[in-house]
Amino acid sequence: MTNPVIPTAPSDAETAVIIVAAGRGTRAGGDTAKQWREIAGLPVLVRSVAAFAGVGRILVVLHPEDMAQGIATFGGAVTLVAGGESRAQSVRNALETLDGAPVTRVLIHDGARPFASPALIGRVLAALDDAPAAAPALAVSDALWRAEAGRVAGLQNRAGLMRAQTPQGFHLGAILAAHRAHPGDAADDVAVALAAGLDVATVEGEEDNIKITWPDDFARAERIAGGGMDIRSGQGFDVHAFTEGDHVMLCGVRLSHDRALLGHSDADVGMHALTDAVYGALAAGDIGRHFPPSDPKWRGAASAIFLDHAAGLARDRGYRLSNADVTLICEAPKIGPHAGAMQGELARILGIDAGRVSVKATTSERLGFTGRGEGIAALATVTLVKP
């Protein structure tokens, strides 16, 4: 995921966005209010604000004690509003700021929902063309129970029940009047709108549009942001000289040739480079560490043994091989007619789809030892991913 940016140039002057972040978030644990805690290196609130880049003017409602932090974080890119004693009061404070402004629509969003997508925001705004209010929701799919004293006390029919999300969209005049008439706090702004008799349309929500409430929610948020993933890259390089013989082994495929490659094993230069790339991504040394050339048991061994060991080591450590790229550097033999077979054999040994393996070749324009036909060189790069 690319780093979010704080919006500086709203594209729609008739739309405003209110992001509510005036709470203390005590249920989320930690010594810092949840909106200021980081997900993959960025504060929750920064991600929530960045989701609305280009949507319209942004107002961020903060606890009075957080105003200095808000100024340091956002500068003049957003309008900061001091929150009230309740969520409803915080929203009303921001709505009153918009009274008289050339704004016709307002989106009200939880500062603890950092993953609202452009598509979701677009659905809410589009629904306001036909209704004074709109909100995203997801159908309840799990069975519902009523519980008492740690026991199941009964069942609850889930038919027609929805899980509410934000941003919730409104015609500004309608929601401002509804808040002015509302006597107290409310769970969200749809509740305020319904109390005022407004018709609220629903649009499809998104599972990743989570609201961070509990400590475990941060782990899920890290996974969504990609911050919980361990992504590693490794490179490998190998060279083998030609010697007398009638074939070469390259990436697991036997090619007839007027010479062979010299090596302790079968001298498969492509597979050796790829094996070292996997070991490199794991910070696990190279082939020589795991299969010492001084050990006679590996004389003439098939290089598939080495690659299989490296791939197994990656799996044992929890990594998935995302892709592998091998480049063979030689004047001869011709690699192109055999690249598909090489790709398939490497994929088989690695235990991945052939579409994740690339085998290609180039010459060195008759320069250097490969250009003089004295040997073959190989480069390889791999990417490993641990969820």
- Tell me the per-residue pLDDT of 285-313, one tens digit each, with 9 for 90 and over: 999 999 998 999 999 899 999 999 999 99
pLDDT confidence of residue 40: 87
Distance CA 376, CA 272 (A): 12
The percentage of residues in the chain with a pLDDT greater than 70, rounded to a whole number, is 96
Both 190 and 284 in one domain: the answer is: no
- For residue 13, the model assigns a pLDDT of 77
Mean pLDDT over the full length of the chain: 93
Region 151-161: mean pLDDT is 94
List the domain range (segments joined by +) for residue 123.
Answer: 15-225
Is 72 inside any structural domain? yes
Asked if the model's pLDDT at residue 144 lies above 80, the reply is yes
Give yes or no: residues 156 and 208 share one domain: yes
**What CA–CA distance (Å, rounded) separates 124 from 127?**
5
* pLDDT (tens digit per residue) in 83-126: 999 999 999 999 999 999 999 999 999 999 999 999 999 999 99
Asked whether residue 127 carries a pLDDT value surpassing 80, the answer given is yes
Q: Is residue 9 domain-resident?
A: no
φ/ψ of 116, rounded to 5, equals -65, 125
- 57 within domain boundaries: yes
Is residue 69 in some structural domain? yes
- Measure the CA–CA gap between 185 and 49, rounded to whole angstroms: 24
Q: In which band, very low, low, confident or very high, does the pLDDT at 7 lie, cut at 50, 70 and 90?
A: low
Residues 206 and 256 in one domain: no
Domain match, 156 and 40 both: yes
pLDDT (mean) for 59-76 = 95
Eight-class DSSP state of 47: H
How many domains does the structure of the chain reveal? Answer: 2
Tell me: do 151 and 44 sit in the same domain. Answer: yes
Looking at the DSSP bridge assignments, the partners of residue 236 are 380
pTM for this prediction: 0.65
